[in-house]
Structure 1
Amino acid sequence: MNEVADAEEKFLAQLKRRTSLIVQSNNMAQVIEELIKDNETDHDIHAFCAAFRRHTPAEIRKMIADARTTLKISEHMSRGQMRATPYRWTPPEQIPMREFLYGKHLIREYVSATIAPGGLGKSSLIIAEMLSTVSGRALLGVTSEQLRVWYFNLEDPAVETTRRIQATAKYFKLTENDIGDRLFINHGRERPLVIAKTEGRDTVICAPVVDALIAEIKARGIDVVIVDPFISSHKVPENDNNAIDMVVKEWGKVADQGNCAVELVHHVRKGEQEVTVQSARGGVALTDGCRSVRVLNRMTEAEAKNAGVDQHRSYFSAYADKANLTKPADKRDWFKLVSVDLDNNPLNRLSGNPFGDLKGDDIGVATRWEWPDPLDGITGGDFERAAAAIKKGQWRANSQAKDWVGLPVAKTLGLSLAVKQERAKVAGLIKIWLASGALAEVERQDERRKVKKSIEVASDDD
């Protein structure tokens, strides 16, 4: 028992001395060297030093690297010993805040995932978000600092990625200066990125690849790494949860040691209707190992009718179906794919071109789209006028009926039921007024004594 007490007293004295070295003498380098000699990992050393807020994370990482070079003690050597690490009490106000890089989805030192069916527009969304973070412009309504992004497209040829990037930049009027030296692109067709593979019955981490990846992330100061698609970053059975768990944890290591956010783009199982986090292909270890998982869904025909839009396949939504580090999402973000002409038809550059302007490649670009709010531009006085019109007749609840209640509402508000957006607005207003109790659904007999559902203005007694 005395040995335990002595060890605890020694630890507290050492902690007090090291705290004094940092706070009073500003000698963090000495403390880092001592921690390395005590076989602490880079992660634990960084966490301890960062709590004092005397240096930036980048400065701390450099001090650790310099100390290891001087002492000739690698982190691998430090991890050769296994011992229990005592918990260090940290006042709450000294704990570094989580660093959200883009909305609540991309988080420094964590792995996030985007799950979506093929052909929906996920790559277009990823590229628009990527250019938003690189440029520091809120292209999709989300503000971020200018970040350094490394994008691995492991599926398409390089020229296709170039088309999508330039089409997105053209739509949002970005210039070369907006991108600067902050964007890095690699393609799997030129050089695969495989961090794990199966050898016999074993799953093996490709350590040289991971180490080289982390080294380059550190050297370039990368903030965000995007892997599209995740399945191409490994060669293990995707239904093997143990193997996928190892792969995701290795990406977590990249995020941790590279001090960056990692985004994994993943497909869903075939035949999925509404996509949820459970729709992801393969083992659940992928989504279990990510701290933020969002799902993308195409707009349904019913939703298009409610919104009053055509071509529902051009619209899709994003929903945070798993957010371990934030409160659950209470709404979806909506996006619309718009077509951008790259104007790259070579015939247009011919002297005396007899064909006129010919279209080049049409590229889909993801843009932010807001779900229409029926109450936009509507006042209390508008309801009073609509209510007065409803009171003058008997109106059906069925929107297909010739005496639908939407008729007097539309006429009063100067809206046309022949226009999809305006018809949807009328239907939305009736739904809102019913939910609020301003209108009431009742059963009335029609002229043939059949009971039908009607809409009336609620009385003061209701």
Structure 2
Amino acid sequence: MLDLDPPAWLDDIEPPGSLSDYGLPDNVVPFRSDEPAGGMSGERPECTIRPSAFVWRDPATITPRQWIYGHHLIRKYVAATIAPGGVGKSTLTIGDAVAMASGKALLGLRPHGPLRVWLWNGEDPREEIERRVVAACLHHGIEPSEIAGRLFLDSGRDVPIRIGETGANGPKVAMPVIDVLIDAIRERRIDVLIIDPFVSVHSMPENDNGAMDAAVKAFALVADRTGCAIDLVHHSRKLNGADADIDAARGGSAIAGAVRSARALNVMSAEAAKAFAIAESDRRAFVRIDDAKANLAPSSAAKWFKLASEPLGNATADRPEDFVAVAEPWTPPDAMADITVAHLLAVQKAIHKQALRESPQANSWVGHEIGRVLGLNSYGDPDKQKIKNALRAWIASGALIVERVVDDRGHKRPVVEVGEWATSPP
């Protein structure tokens, strides 16, 4: 049976009404309706703005910020998820929705208790959204009862939401739609609204900063008046190989300015794949999540997820079963996980005063000696990359150092020598 008692945070939210009833602060009085707008009559319209005095409060009495999903989603604010096409942002947000509805940290972020989540997808039919949600539940072992009554799904094909458009006088926000959206969220007591993608809920020009600022702030109004958190899933512009960040959001810069937190998704680079000993053919399945904007919390280190494939077991006599993309958390391997201080000491003893070269292109590359000591193949990956990673880590720690020495041709060459000994040398 569903818990129909309203959540405690609703007590702090004003009841809905027409947009004119949303209320101005006590220190702002609107223009009188009988005065021409902007004082066209030449008379000063009645408008009073009174500065509000700051009154000290005991810090302990100030309500903590209401983060509800890591430091990405917070009540009464709009966040953004920014990524190029085909990276897996919809797969990630579906995983997020299941995690939040179940109250489990499926993708590395812990929800603040089981939450009511409304996932609106403007591109796919409802059946496809259901297919992907079911796949995420199967992959993470989530039982139907764990999300029952807390996950809401809609397709833009069946439930269109259009909060703004371009009219004869330019872009405008459809305030009646905002009213209805607020009512719907309050009726279902929604904690999180995910809009995927943002471009599907408006027809305003993306390069118009004024239009985009109004569009995002329309959702900020929804968040403020309902107490929910909103995630706008947004495409980045064409990056030509560069990483997506907050400035890569497609359209005007106002989108980045109007949200309070943002994350950017990027496929693993070829260089990173090589460092992690991941085959080039597999690297696109690994996606990095960066804090692109963290106004209300400290920036955190990058996180990763991996795209996996989940079979649904729905084969029929004439059609094979579906395999659906799902997101799962992934942690980069520790290059030094199985390398001990004893290994380091053995390497230091082996290379001491040998003037072995730093460059892997040199015949006397120090990595060949490291490989011999560690029992690794220094001539081919993945062992060669592991040696490079260890060498980089040891140089960074000061256990090994790079010095420039003059070779027999009078050229200065960088060589690797012992820095700080792991233990006292014999």
Q: TM-score range by the shorter chain?
A: 0.7 to 0.9
Match of 1:59 in 2: 11
**More helix, by proportion:** 1
* Residues 132-166 of structure 1 deviation map (CA, whole Å, 9 limit, x = unaligned): 11111111122121111001101112222122212
Measured after TM superposition, the shift of residue 109 of structure 1 is 0.3
CA distance in 1, matches of 2:321, 2:406: 61
Amino acid in structure 2 at the alignment position of 1:290: V
- Once the two structures are superposed, the pairs formed by residues 187-226 of structure 1 within 5 Å of their partners are 187-226=155-194
Q: Which runs of 5+ in 2 are unaligned?
A: 1-6, 31-47, 422-426
Deviation at 1:246, TM superposition (A): 0.8
Give how far 1:362 is off. Answer: 2.4
Residue of structure 2 in register with 1:382 after alignment: 343
CA distance, structure 1, for counterparts of residue 187 and residue 377 of structure 2: 60
SS at match of 1:426: helix
The 5 Å alignment of 1:374-453 reads 374-391=335-352, 393-417=354-378, 420-444=381-405, 452-453=413-414
Partner of 1:52: none
Q: Deviations over 1:208-264 (max 9, x none)?
A: 211111111111111000000011111111111111111111000010001000000
Which residue does the alignment assign to 2:252? 283
Pair 294,77 (structure 1): closer, same or farther in 2 beyond 3 Å: closer
Question: Do 2:19 and 2:175's aligned partners in 1 also have CA atoms closer than 8 Å?
Answer: no
Three-state SS of the structure 2 residue aligned to 1:440 is strand
Kindly indicate whether residue 277 of structure 2 is the aligned counterpart of residue 308 of structure 1.
Answer: yes
Question: What TM-score does the superposition give when structure 1 sets the normalisation length?
Answer: 0.78
Q: CA deviation at 1:56?
A: 3.6
Match of residue 274, structure 1, among 216, 224, 243: 243
Radius of gyration: which is bigger?
Answer: 1
In the superposition, the TM-score normalised over structure 2's length comes to 0.84
SS at match of 1:386: helix
In the other structure, the counterpart of 1:156 is 124
Q: Judge conservation of contact 2:276–2:332 (CA < 8 Å) in 1.
A: yes
Residue among 103, 128, 133 paired with 1:165: 133
Q: 2:286, 2:263 → 1: CA distance?
A: 16
Task: Give the whole-Å Cα distance in 1 for the aligned partners of 2:202 and 2:343.
Answer: 60
* Corresponding position: 1:454 with 2:415: yes
Residue 335 in structure 1 maps to residue 305 in structure 2: yes
- Give the distance between the partners of 2:23 and 2:342, measured in 1 at CA: 73
Distance 1:132 1:190, change over 3 A: same
Which residue, 75, 89, 100 being the options, matches 2:67? 100
- C-alpha displacement at 1:92, in angstroms? 2.4
Give the Å deviation of 1:60.
4.1
The answer on whether the counterparts of 1:308 and 1:423 sit within 8 Å (CA) in structure 2 is: no
Q: Output one character per residue of 1:297-351: Cα deviation in whole Å (capped at 9) or x when no partner.
A: 111111111111112111111111211111233x211121112222322138xxx
What's 2:77 paired with? 110
Count of residues in correspondence between the two structures:
389
Cα distance between partner residues in 2 of 1:74 and 1:139: 38
Whole-angstrom CA distance in 2 between matches of 1:421 and 1:176: 42
Q: Secondary structure at the match of 2:250?
A: coil
Contact 2:19 2:179 in 1 (8 A): no
Cα RMSD of the aligned pairs, angstroms, is 2.7
Q: Percent identity?
A: 37
- Matched to 1:58, the amino acid is L
Q: CA deviation at 1:373?
A: 1.9
In the other structure, the counterpart of 2:317 is 347
